[in-house]
Structure 1
Amino acid sequence: MAEPIDSRTRDSARAADTSIAARRALPAWHYVAAAALGALNTFSFAPTPHGGWLEIAILAGFYFWLTRTTGWKSALFTGWAFGFGNFVSGVWWLYVSMHFYGGMPAALAGAALVLFSLYLGLYPALAALVWSFCAGHAKNGRTLPFSPTWHGAFAFASAWALGEWARGYVFTGFPWLSSGYAQVDGPFAGFAPIVGVYGVGWVLALVAALVVQALVNVCKARPDALAEPAGGGAARGATGSVATPVIATVAVIAAGLLLPLVNWTHPENTPLNVRLLQGNVKQEMKFSESGLDESLAEFQRLITEKPADLVITPETAIPVLLQEMPEKFGRDIRAFADGTGTAILFGAVGGTITPDRRVVDYTNSLFGITPGQNGLYRYDKHHLVPFGEFVPWGFHWFVNLMNIPLGDFARGAPVQPPFLVHNQPVAVDICYEDIFGEEIARTVRENPTSPGILINSTNLAWFGDTIALDQHLQIARMRSLETGRPMLRATNTGATAAIDAHGNVIARLPAFTVGSLDVRVEGTQGFTPYVRSGNNTVIAVSLVLLAFGFAFGPARPSRKKA
């Protein structure tokens, strides 16, 4: 017969439960600090030079803060706070487009930015939640302290990468500020041709977790164990728990610094002389009648200023339907192309005219003129911007609050033929499309004639003089690293630039100036590992490691029988 439990035992149990509950509850400042750390992470990205090194420290700080959580709920909200701080400070320029150019009231534009940042913060929150379960943190008895381990480090890297991939995929995706972008000048850029931007984020998160693991083990090492004679088991264990993650970290950083020496692609075809145009047309004037006349005159002057192998204008440099383009403008640039042997890519609005003369299926397009040939090359933008180029179901009321023209376009095909310039194929995309690396890789991989040069035509005037311009240039550099191909950018206000096949900016126009950038560029051929496999490698590896961590990580300790 079991002995009765006296009142003192029951009181002790209640006190212990109260103490455990107190330890489980994290103070509010824990989440405020996580949000501040996320906001600080904005400085890892452009225009901060070599921000990739700063990003290692910030992500290590975030991982350490996660290890202080006491269960899956606190891990979830810590990740959410970090993500909110990161995005509300990193994409604040969306407020500029909504309020200053879209005409939305300031309070509503600010609220929309906050809500959007809260939504984006869900992805690092879910990554933190998955890490908590798959690292054993949420299964090992939530009151126990978490000690960074190897399976915890791999679980963090995998959950982080899958969270970023999901953010770039769900609801058409918004992968801006993916952590790998900050590494184009950082120590892990060499991994980009192998595993892409999400794989670079995976490597970054792994190193950050290993740094924390080493530092925590240093702090936990007992002085008496470290002071034992050589050959002592405790001393060897303490030294190994610190040295092993340090060696792994150094090895990964060294690999990242050495990998850029590998040439995954090779130069091919005759170099092209290219002129990239920057009109600096003010956004508020672009669609007005006077602004249209001024824009047409300016771009006609820039296009016909001097010959080249290829001249490229920004996105919708001619902001009218192609069929409504002034006849004189079209005749003059066609005569210039035929007379000088200059191919021209210009941005305009496409559309289909029905038999009853109605225009349907408007498109955001690039049209190409080939010297001595009739007809036009046409590329229609495939990946459209929500609320800017198409209206998601149920949100027309929101778009009606803004004064943004041309708000609902038709989509082009996912893979479209390249434009041939002196028999050299070049792949084009428009503005927002180059933030989707897997789609650029697919265009390079699946075209029967693989393009050797990437071209991005864009208009960031919607975002004014903000960090969006430098962030977008940083994204374009990642596309060059992933594909091993040079990237040419023609923009309205900046950053108009030429990027070589190794992701280096070789020439750039000052922002908010009118002019042209003359560059000589040589195309490349061959496929990088990322072009061949896309994001499949990092997704598969992450899923396997998370499944392993969930199955074999520390289990919840069994309750002792009474």
Structure 2
Amino acid sequence: MTSETIITGHVKSGIHKLPPWLATALTLLCGVVQPLALAPFNLWPLGFLGLAGFALLLFKSSPGRAFQLSTAFGIGLYGVGASWVYVAINQFGNASWWLAALLTALFVLLLALVFAAPFALCTRLIGHGRLGILLGFPACYLLGEWVRTWFLTGFPWLFIGYGHLSTPLSGWAPVLGVLGVGFLATFSAACLASWAFFMRPSANLWMATVLSLCLWLGGWWLQGISWTRVNSDQPVKVAMVQPNIAQEVKWHPAQAQPTLDLLMQMSEGHWSSDWLIWPEAAVPLTYHTALDFLDEVNRKASDTQTGVITGIIFDERQTRRFYNSLAGFGEALGIYHKQRLVPFGEYVPLESWLRGAIEFFDLPTSYIHRGRDGQSGLQIGDVSIAPSICYEVVYPSLVARGARHRNVLLTVSNDAWFADSIGPLQHLQMAQMRALETGRYLIRSTNNGISAIVDPKGEIVAKSEQFVATTLSGVVYPAYGGTPFMRWGSWPMVVLSGAMLAGLLAARRRFH
């Protein structure tokens, strides 16, 4: 047996010899089907097959070809899955359709290039042999997702693990997090790809396949484990107000008082709740200009022994800074400033160049400053709350760290920016994963839906309809203790993936 046979194995001819245009088109198609595995479609087998096809098409690729194919996959992934960006730019940034399309295309291309980088760098490990597909491909995919949680402040969207929120692999979420679930999914897809590609199954492939089946069975078994202790003797009655204020009028000065009146009107009948939650930036005034109204809310909440939490823009007058914040009144104590900001929506990158160029770069909320790390959460009575505002809930490690010494997750959002696109439904699915990763109830209060209560298993127990002014009530219970993911985050899987690539590199050097 030659060293080449040991490294590559016996393969079926044809796939790695496809014309570049055909290979690129097929890879683009593999990327297009990935968002169909996520909300609102949840067709996870399609995503599974797309990953297997992507792994096959990368086989024996040169660095240049791997970069081309991975970029095509990324364009398909983000072109479909992040298409909602166009809605925000066109409808609420008031950009013409062609300019919105151009900016969206540039955004998708940038994300695709970031997606492609790990595969291009590690192509010689992925593209040669069974172990390259079985180990190199899932390791690269995980490291790529991890990079996208922090590179250029991060865009941790469309992670493949979200598609397995309802499959047995979800049992691994409290242990490994969404990145780890994605790793297991790509490993299983790599096994499928290897069975489709290699002429003679090797011992390695048989072992990998058995391991993959065991991981799925193990996930099913782990679904029955409760990593945290939920205190059923401490029910908390929660009510959420969903005012459904149209984004185009939300910050109009003439709309401020009607909005305040609507919030109070919709809250009537819910002051008997333990907690009353208003969504992100529900109060359309800055904190200090709304003091008279906030004093009224505080008196009402104190009289009824209710904890009120509302989203509001906090104006720090000494430093002339503005923060996207959550503030507590009545029985609720504390204020929280958002730490992870939305580019262009809350701040403008390269501000000196872009500010004022088009209306999209001058949105009313694009002057927000970042809150400091390590803030204390919110407190209502004996229950500590881990808050996150809108975009923050898509950062797995950020939410896990915030939940370590707190009992309930709270996220508020205003998804009106994305109208009736798939973006808000993806956003809700990511919030569900945060509840599962931390073993805590999650409260999601939004301006226009979907508002929801999610249990520690990531399942929705109550939700509202979209695009209606309504209220949502339910009960949550504080949780104590933590999950393995809360303690270790994604680092074990990042280190494992790096070690796998290092081992493949060492093996290649040995046989060459």
TM-score between both structures, scaled by the size of structure 1 = 0.84
Note the alpha carbon deviations across 1:402-447, whole angstroms, 9 max, x for none. Answer: 25102121221222212222211111110000111111111123xx
Runs of 5+ unmatched residues, structure 2: 1-15
**In 1, Cα distance between equivalents of 2:35 and 2:300:** 45
Q: Which amino acid aligns with 1:454?
A: L
Cα distance change of structure 1 residues 325 and 117 upon mapping to structure 2, 3 Å threshold: same
1:556 CA drift (Å) = 7.7
Q: Aligned runs of 1:284-323 on 2, under 5 Å?
A: 284-307=248-271, 308-323=273-288
**In 2, Cα distance between equivalents of 1:331 and 1:245:** 63
Partner of 2:493, secondary structure, is: helix
Q: Would you say how many aligned residue pairs link Structure 1 and Structure 2?
A: 493
Partner of 1:362, secondary structure, is: strand
Contact kept? 1:303, 1:333, Cα under 8 Å: no
Give the alignment partner of residue 370 of structure 1, picking from 316, 324, 330: 330
1:258 maps to 2:250: no
Cα distance change of structure 1 residues 241 and 165 upon mapping to structure 2, 3 Å threshold: closer
Instruction: Percent identity, please.
Output: 29
**In 1, Cα distance between equivalents of 2:476 and 2:23:** 51
1:395 CA drift (Å) = 6.3
Partner of 1:391: 348
Give the alignment partner of residue 37 of structure 1, picking from 30, 41, 47: 30
Partner of 1:12: none
Partner of 1:46: 39
Cα distance change of structure 1 residues 79 and 395 upon mapping to structure 2, 3 Å threshold: farther
Partner of 2:335, secondary structure, is: strand
1:243 CA drift (Å) = 4.1
Give the alignment partner of residue 379 of structure 1, picking from 327, 336, 351: 336
TM-score between both structures, scaled by the size of structure 2 = 0.92
Contact kept? 1:273, 1:518, Cα under 8 Å: yes
Partner of 1:425: 384
Q: Which amino acid aligns with 2:181?
A: V
1:24 CA drift (Å) = 6.7
Q: Aligned runs of 1:38-437 on 2, under 5 Å?
A: 38-49=31-42, 51-67=43-59, 69-135=60-126, 137=127, 146-147=128-129, 149-217=130-198, 220-221=199-200, 238=201, 240=203, 243-268=206-231, 270-307=234-271, 308-325=273-290, 327=292, 329-354=293-318, 360-371=320-331, 377-393=334-350, 396-397=353-354, 400-401=357-358, 402=360, 403-437=362-396
Q: Which amino acid aligns with 1:132?
A: T
**In 2, Cα distance between equivalents of 1:205 and 1:26:** 25
Cα distance change of structure 1 residues 161 and 239 upon mapping to structure 2, 3 Å threshold: closer
Say what the alpha-carbon RMSD is for the aligned residues.
Answer: 2.0
Note the alpha carbon deviations across 1:182-214, whole angstroms, 9 max, x for none. Answer: 111223111111111111111111111011112
Q: Aligned runs of 1:480-499 on 2, under 5 Å?
A: 480-499=435-454
**In 2, Cα distance between equivalents of 1:96 and 1:387:** 14
Contact kept? 2:403, 2:409, Cα under 8 Å: no
Contact kept? 1:79, 1:127, Cα under 8 Å: no
Q: Which amino acid aligns with 1:47?
A: P
Contact kept? 1:123, 1:164, Cα under 8 Å: no
Partner of 2:506: 551
1:167 CA drift (Å) = 1.2
Contact kept? 2:334, 2:377, Cα under 8 Å: no
Runs of 5+ unmatched residues, structure 1: 1-22, 138-145, 222-237, 558-562
**In 2, Cα distance between equivalents of 1:432 and 1:253:** 31
Partner of 2:221, secondary structure, is: helix
Partner of 2:397: 438
Larger Rg: 1
Note the alpha carbon deviations across 1:151-183, whole angstroms, 9 max, x for none. Answer: 431111111100111111100000111111111
Q: Which amino acid aligns with 2:189?
A: A
